[in-house]
Amino acid sequence: MTRHLKRHEAPKNWPISRKGTTFVLKKNSKGIPILIVLRDLMKIARTRNEVKQAVHKKDLIISNKPVNDEKKSLELFDILKIVPSKKNYRVVLSEKGKYDVEEINESETGSKISKIIGKRSLKGKEIQLNLSDGRNYISALKCSIGDSAIVDLQKRKISKILSIKEKSDVLVIGGKHAGTKGKILKIVEGNKMVELESSEKKFRALIKQVMVLN
């Protein structure tokens, strides 16, 4: 099975030219490969080999974990640290729903937001929470699937829950409104959808397609 796909077959939220070299890395998660980020988006690496060298030198860190493979994907709101330049970036969605990065201060690198997509009760009051970035955490904090979690990357634990409720500010992360920020007006259709208001319009989105920001 091929480990690559043609450029025109790449996910629409990858900010790459549909022209150029015929093949790019095959999508292996909901995120975007660090190779695509450094070469096609940030343009600080010219070739895959340059990215592989940076990985070998431990020059790249994603959300407090060293990168060990140039095919490693960054998920939404992951923190990318480039060690030689001492610069830090957060993965975001543009208003057009495409992955982008924004430079952040060192003081902002200690935590990230992730969406709770699953939970499982354990012994006592502890619960295992499954997050949208693929990580799992044990927590006793009260929460529901669809809420967001603020993860303390240093202590490797969830420090706060952001509940999905009326008046919450959210980012649409999927569907035709991906990249749009808005405020929840109400939760409808048996807690499966939300009615949102952005700066330009009112619309509905599935709860699984929005992430609470605060």
Which CATH number is 111-162 given?
2.40.50.740
What predicted TM-score, i.e. pTM, was given to this entire model? Answer: 0.83
Helix, coil or strand: residue 210: strand
Residue 125's pLDDT band (boundaries 50, 70, 90)? Answer: confident
Is the predicted pLDDT of residue 29 greater than 60, yes or no? no
Tokens linked to 157: 């634990």
Please write down the long-range contacts of 84-88, taking CB distance under 8 Å and 24 or more positions apart. Answer: 84/59
Please state the domain extents for the chain. 4-108, 111-162, 169-212
For the stretch 167-205, pLDDT in tens is: 999 999 999 999 999 999 999 977 789 999 998 899 999
169-212: CATH class: mainly beta
Chain centroid to Cα 156, Å, comes to 17
Is 214 within 8 Å of 174 (Cβ atoms)?
Answer: no
What is the Cα–Cα distance from 148 to 170, expressed in whole angstroms? Answer: 10
Length of the chain: 214
CATH classification of 4-108, choosing from 3.10.290.10, 3.40.50.970, 3.40.50.1000, 3.40.1080.10? 3.10.290.10
**What's the farthest any 2 CA atoms get from each other in the chain?**
55
Q: What is the pLDDT of residue 114?
A: 97
